[in-house]
Structure 1
Amino acid sequence: MIFLENEHIKASLTTKGAELQKLTSKETGRNYLWDGNPDYWGKFSPILFPIVGAIKNNTYLFEGKEYTLPRHGFARDNQFEAEQISNTEVVFTLIQNEETLKVYPFDFKLKLHYKITDASLSCTYIVLNPGNKELLFSVGGHPAFAIPTNEHISYDDYFLEFNKDENLVYYKINSDLIDEETEIIHLQDHSLPLTHQLFYKDALVFKTLKSDCISIKNHKDSHGLHFTFKDFPFFGIWAAKDADFVCLEPWCGIADGINHNQNLKDKEGIIALPPKGNWERSWSIVCF
């Protein structure tokens, strides 16, 4: 484990998957992340790379060859190299290896840069293309935030507050793929009430979200968080059935559509990074 700490918060991270596993407020002692209970979902904040979501039949085509990748790719299950820059900053790095090249024929360097400042933690995804051909990839976040409940406060007392959206248009999921059918959620005062039933049919997937900040709040106390993200064209909101957490997932990439032709170059949201190029996106959490 690697720890980042200042006078306000403490973050715990692991080299497996470069995963953030705890984010604790020193003022309240509260851990803002899900505890990873395997009875519901045994992860905390996995990195999605080199794909986001599922691909059709778990296979894709590239340069006339067929490759197999699991849902959300392989980075979350790989060991990263870690460089702790200071008490408040760490960089994790993963590069291609013999095993990744069997399923993903690209040279790459993936970095996750975590930094804490005051009561905020930021995560920056950095992708570099060291090779001599175009690098095709997607990347996304999947942080799971705890929704604390007790005899005084229930899951239904919480809500998500969107800073710009008044209505949400989401795409349905059909056997892990994105359906063409959409539904609309009309928000009250930019807020979406949380209920376990909201996720019984899988995640809510957005392609036209206007907001760049979503806050988790409740009607019983003043504690919560602001989750800020920028230039992520897709977004997912999800929780395991009846689990007391909610995932806020900024994506540069998306699962295959039900009618996708399986060619990687034609995949919706795929990023094409030229040789020697670099790319980055960030999200951040402010605890209160």
Structure 2
Amino acid sequence: MMYALENDFLQVEVSGLGAELKSLKFKPDLKERMWSGDPIYWNKTSPLLFPIVGSLKQNEYKFKDKVYQLNRHGFAREMEFELVENNSTRLKFRLNSSEKTKNFYPFDFSLYVEYELNDAVLYCNYEVVNIGHDEMLFSIGAHPAFVVGNGTEASYNEYALHFNKDNKINCYKIYDGLIGEDYKEMVLKNNQLSLSYDLFYDDALVFKSLKSDLIILSNDGGQTGLKFEFKDFPYFGIWAAENANFVCLEPWCGIADSVNHNQELSEKEGINSLSPTETFERSWSVSLI
């Protein structure tokens, strides 16, 4: 089921499946800023990554001497959320643990996703609550895909990502979905990373030490794009499907398994720990320019 938000500046649509942001339009031009989900390239628009980010080695992890199967990016993006709040400026969704989720994730949780409009800014807030009696281990991340250009490679190449606090970044290499120990340094001229199709031919760009908490997507004239803000996400990914006219800006609290990981969930890089009754909160926002 689809749900809508609207104010004087923005029109937003969110699907109950995965609490996924499906549409974001700036009312002065009504131009769609979210990727269409064209299955020829990639059929998602903004999936929620929970309770893992990225891939596990052999799609498995170990917890308390038991082996669990869990596919890339976890299960939340494929599950129906319950709408628990709906007013003129806010949509709030909830996913609770169940017997089904216990088959591949042995923790009791409530996961809330909230979308809120404030003038020309859309906020997305995540809230993870441990409703069990034991320590909870998890990761969470965002994966929004924004339209770039008008459908041609030439227009795609006119765009760049501007980082507010980085002039060079270390990009970790990916091997069959797993994070390697080696990385390459990318020097950003004027804090800017130019977009091109071939930038993503070897998979996503993955960063572990990004200083920036604001990235601006804009074209050569600086007139078309958006501002993407995020705080307290220790990892970040940038990705696009091959030759597709979008870019994903992905703040993560968690990361794919390393190539040398022993598959123990408690020893996984970037894993978060939550005591009973505790709450974990993160948010990101997008404003249109």
Q: TM-score, normalised by structure 1?
A: 0.98
- The Cα shift of 1:37 comes to 0.6
Partner of 1:242: 243
Checking the alignment, whether the CA contact within 8 Å between 2:151 and 2:245 is kept in structure 1 is: no
- Taking a change above 3 Å as real, the CA distance of residues 150 and 96 of structure 1, as seen in their structure-2 partners, is closer
Partner of 1:147: 148
Specify the SS of the correspondent of 2:23. strand
- Taking a change above 3 Å as real, the CA distance of residues 176 and 152 of structure 1, as seen in their structure-2 partners, is closer
Partner of 2:206: 205
Partner of 2:52: 51
For 1:152 and 1:170, how far apart are their aligned partners in 2? 24
Deviations 1:94-142 (A, max 9, x none): 0111110010000000000110111110001100001110010000000
Partner of 1:271: 272
Partner of 1:187: 188
For 1:262 and 1:150, how far apart are their aligned partners in 2? 41
For 1:271 and 1:50, how far apart are their aligned partners in 2? 10
What letter corresponds to residue 19 of structure 1 in structure 2? E
Deviations 1:259-288 (A, max 9, x none): 000000000000000011001000000111
Aligned residues: 288
What letter corresponds to residue 89 of structure 1 in structure 2? R
Checking the alignment, whether the CA contact within 8 Å between 1:3 and 1:87 is kept in structure 2 is: no
Specify the SS of the correspondent of 1:47. coil
Partner of 1:7: 8
- 148-157 or 222-231, which deviates more: 148-157
- Taking a change above 3 Å as real, the CA distance of residues 17 and 150 of structure 1, as seen in their structure-2 partners, is closer
What letter corresponds to residue 168 of structure 1 in structure 2? I
Specify the SS of the correspondent of 1:103. coil
Specify the SS of the correspondent of 2:103. helix
Checking the alignment, whether the CA contact within 8 Å between 1:153 and 1:220 is kept in structure 2 is: no
- The Cα shift of 1:220 comes to 4.0
Sequence identity, in percent? 50
For 1:236 and 1:11, how far apart are their aligned partners in 2? 24
For 2:84 and 2:27, how far apart are their aligned partners in 1? 25
Specify the SS of the correspondent of 1:54. coil
Query: After the TM superposition, which residues 1-288 of structure 1 pair with which residues of structure 2 at under 5 Å, given as runs?
Result: 1-149=2-150, 154-220=155-221, 222-288=223-289
Q: Which runs of 5+ in 1 are unaligned?
A: none
For 2:185 and 2:223, how far apart are their aligned partners in 1? 29
Deviations 1:168-221 (A, max 9, x none): 101000010001110011111000000000000000000000000001010146
Checking the alignment, whether the CA contact within 8 Å between 1:180 and 1:257 is kept in structure 2 is: yes
Deviations 1:22-66 (A, max 9, x none): 000110111111111110000000000000000000000000000
For 2:218 and 2:209, how far apart are their aligned partners in 1? 23
For 1:247 and 1:167, how far apart are their aligned partners in 2? 20
Q: Which runs of 5+ in 2 are unaligned?
A: none
For 2:189 and 2:4, how far apart are their aligned partners in 1? 39
Checking the alignment, whether the CA contact within 8 Å between 1:159 and 1:191 is kept in structure 2 is: yes
Deviations 1:146-184 (A, max 9, x none): 012267961000000000000010100001000111001
